[in-house]
């Protein structure tokens, strides 16, 4: 496998952008302090006049001055949405400085509940500015910072903030180049933040070492109900340790580990988890290199589990034999709660079709999705 060389010019530009943001933030703090007094005076006058519209005008002007101090263009959408329950600024090219200008206005905003800043090139400096907001603002409960190149340093700042202020219940950090180092901060967060209900870590580079770090944290977590780990690099021993964390968890209801590399050993570990876990309701394990042997192992868990409603194992090389084994385990479990067994894109034979027909007679509410192609 070839080694991809980093472009020194690209790295230099990114570092320069963050350095400019850092320098600007120092000047920004001075501007904010100076404006604080004048803004308070204006608010006092406006209360006397009883004119809410003028009050909002002062806030708009303040935000525009902050943008000017940081040499960024004000986002007009923010001026329109700052009193709404959701602030959606996807794909606006805010950058680190734009995030800093926005951050000061968000710190004491009591209206916004959902903050969506997906794909804005925030980098570490932008993450740190928003982390300051999340450490103080108890109104924001739903945050999407996906696709912002936050890296481990950005994740560290955000996790530290959520540890201080546990108002955030849903956090999306997909596509942020999070690797093994970031997993340490995420694990610490999972162990202390009991209010976090939904976490999206999909499309990152969390590998087998990250799995070994996150597994024990998942076992100790006492709040998370939905976790998306799809499109990462969980495999080998790390996948096994991660699955063992699921075995001890008693809160998680929805888990997506699709497009990883759990393989047959990972499938066996998940099966053991399903034997003990009596809470999980939805599990997506599609495209995880699970063969027929792994599917038969997974069936051992399905034979006794009483809570799983949805199981997706599509796009795995388990062939008809593996599909047959899974379905037979469901049939042999009189307490099965399964409503959907997704075997899409896997070839099945006539024996499987015959079994599916008999199972449907026993469990008429079960939906079985199977590959269109037939073999044998």
Domain locations along the chain: 77-370
Strands (E), 119-182: 142-144, 170-172
| pLDDT for res 119 | 98
Burial of 24 (0-12, 13-18, 19+ CB in 10 A): buried
C-beta separation of 298 from 328 below 8 A:
no
pTM: 0.86
Helix (H, G, I), strand (E, B) or coil at 255: strand
> Residues near 65 by Cβ (< 8 Å), separated by ≥ 6?
31, 35
What pLDDT was estimated at residue 76?
Answer: 82
Give the integer Cα–Cα distance in Å for 241 and 238: 5
> Are the C-beta atoms of 217 and 184 separated by less than 8 Å?
no
The CATH code that applies to domain 77-370 is 3.80.10.10
List the chain pLDDT tens, one digit each, 376 residues: 443 444 444 455 555 555 555 555 555 555 445 444 444 443 433 343 444 444 455 457 788 888 888 888 888 888 888 889 999 999 999 999 999 999 989 998 999 999 999 999 999 999 999 999 999 999 999 999 999 999 999 999 999 999 999 999 999 999 999 999 999 999 999 999 999 999 999 999 999 999 999 999 999 999 999 999 999 999 999 999 999 999 999 999 999 999 999 999 999 999 999 999 999 999 999 999 999 999 999 999 999 999 999 999 999 999 999 999 999 999 999 999 999 999 999 999 999 999 999 999 999 999 999 976 554 5
- Residue 360 to residues 69, 302, 365, 369: CA-CA distances in angstroms? 67, 17, 8, 12
Residue matched to tokens 């101090």:
69
Specify the pLDDT at position 64: 85
Report the pLDDT value the prediction gives residue 373, as an integer from 0 to 100.
54
Instruction: Return the pLDDT at 38.
Output: 45
Helix-helix angle 52-70:95-107, to 10 degrees: 150
Place of tokens 């699970």: 290
Q: Residue 270: how many CB atoms within 10 A of its CB? A: 30
Quick one: angle between helices 292-302 and 263-276, nearest 10? 0
The angle formed by the CA atoms of residues 299, 303 and 307, to the nearest 5 degrees, is 105
CB atoms within 10 A of CB 336: 22
pLDDT value for 54: 41
């Amino acid at each position: 496998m070839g080694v991809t060389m980093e472009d020194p010019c690209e790295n230099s530009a990114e570092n320069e952008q963050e350095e400019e943001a850092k320098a600007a933030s120092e000047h920004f703090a001075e501007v904010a302090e100076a404006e604080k007094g004048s803004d308070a005076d204006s608010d006092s006058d406006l209360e006397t006049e009883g004119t809410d519209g003028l009050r909002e005008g002062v806030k708009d002007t303040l935000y525009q001055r902050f943008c000017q101090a940081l040499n960024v263009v004000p986002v007009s959408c923010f001026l329109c949405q700052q009193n709404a329950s959701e602030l959606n600024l996807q794909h606006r090219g805010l950058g680190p400085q734009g995030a800093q200008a926005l951050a000061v206005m968000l710190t004491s905003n009591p209206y916004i509940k959902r903050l969506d800043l997906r794909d804005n090139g925030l980098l570490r400096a932008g993450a740190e500015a928003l982390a300051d907001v999340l450490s103080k603002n108890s109104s924001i409960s739903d945050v999407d910072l996906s696709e912002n190149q936050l890296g481990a340093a950005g994740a560290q700042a955000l996790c530290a903030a959520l540890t201080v202020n546990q108002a955030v219940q849903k956090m999306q950090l997909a596509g942020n180049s999070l690797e093994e180092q970031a997993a340490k901060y995420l694990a610490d967060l999972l162990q202390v933040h009991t209010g976090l209900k939904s976490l999206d870590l999909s499309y990152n580079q969390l590998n087998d070492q990250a799995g070994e770090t996150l597994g024990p944290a998942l076992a100790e977590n006492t709040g998370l109900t939905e976790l998306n780990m799809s499109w990462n690099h969980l495999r080998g021993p790390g996948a096994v340790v991660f699955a063992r964390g699921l075995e001890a968890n008693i809160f998680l209801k929805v888990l997506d580990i699709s497009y990883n590399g759990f393989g047959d050993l990972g499938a066996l570990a998940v099966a053991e988890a399903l034997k003990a876990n009596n809470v999980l309701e939805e599990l997506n394990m599609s495209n995880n290199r699970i063969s027929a042997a792994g599917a038969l192992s997974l069936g051992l868990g399905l034979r006794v589990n009483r809570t799983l409603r949805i199981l997706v194992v599509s796009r795995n090389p388990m062939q008809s034999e593996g599909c047959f084994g899974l379905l037979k385990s469901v049939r042999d479990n009189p307490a099965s709660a399964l409503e959907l067994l997704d075997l899409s894109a896997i070839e099945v034979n006539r024996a499987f079709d015959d079994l599916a027909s008999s199972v449907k007679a026993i469990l008429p509410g079960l939906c079985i999705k199977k590959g269109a192609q037939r073999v044998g």
